[in-house]
Structure 1
């Protein structure tokens, strides 16, 4: 048996007529209301966005490799140091 939660919060948004037509067409294709379609797809996308920011699971072997990498001494990487210290083409320091 599924537990149903009462929806008590409201979210308003403005959109173009074309965007509304596209959402309505997609909702109709899935035989849902526009509101249910928008909520389900927005929540799905939000979960994808947050998934790797919340937690990640590793088996014991991979966890040990991860911890070892974190605990390892810093390696000298001259090419990386040069890359990070050289002015960027976007920094505005170049002459035209």
Structure 2
């Protein structure tokens, strides 16, 4: 028999009576307590939200394009280089206020 980790953390929610009633109906339909239903639903949603931030999948053609872009030498962009050499708005306002 495996043991579950001890649930020692608590999360409080404030919700409308209608929202609570909806959760209660959904939990009953899933044959779970409201706490179990909310926890399972929240963890499923969290996993889906985090999935695209942890890994992504590409087909062979797109993978090759990504690898080629990462392996390619950096491109020169004269307008960007010129912009980075100009004083920023902050630097201009500080220089103007120092007199």
Instruction: Report the TM-score when normalising by structure 2.
Output: 0.62
Deviations along 1:13-47, one digit per CA (max 9) or x if unpaired, are 10000000000000000000000000000000000
Residue in 2 that maps onto 1:40: 40
In 2: Cα distance, 1:3 partner to 1:37 partner:
20
Match of 2:49 in 1: 49
Distance in 2, Cα, partners of 1:49 & 1:60: 25
CA–CA separation in structure 1 for the residues paired with 2:66 and 2:2: 39
Comparing 50-59 with 24-33, which one deviates more in the overlay? 50-59
Unaligned segments of structure 2, at least 5 residues: 78-99
| Counterparts of 2:48 and 2:60, CA distance in 1 | 25
What is the deviation of 1:69? Answer: 2.8
The alignment yields a C-alpha RMSD, in angstroms, of 2.6
Structure 1 position 64, deviation (Å): 3.7
Superposition deviation, residue 71 in structure 1: 3.4
Return the TM-score normalized by structure 1.
Answer: 0.64
Q: SS of the residue aligned with 2:27?
A: helix
What's the counterpart of residue 11 of structure 1?
11
Aligned residues: 75
Listed as ranges, the gaps of 5+ residues in structure 1 are 77-96
Higher Rg:
2
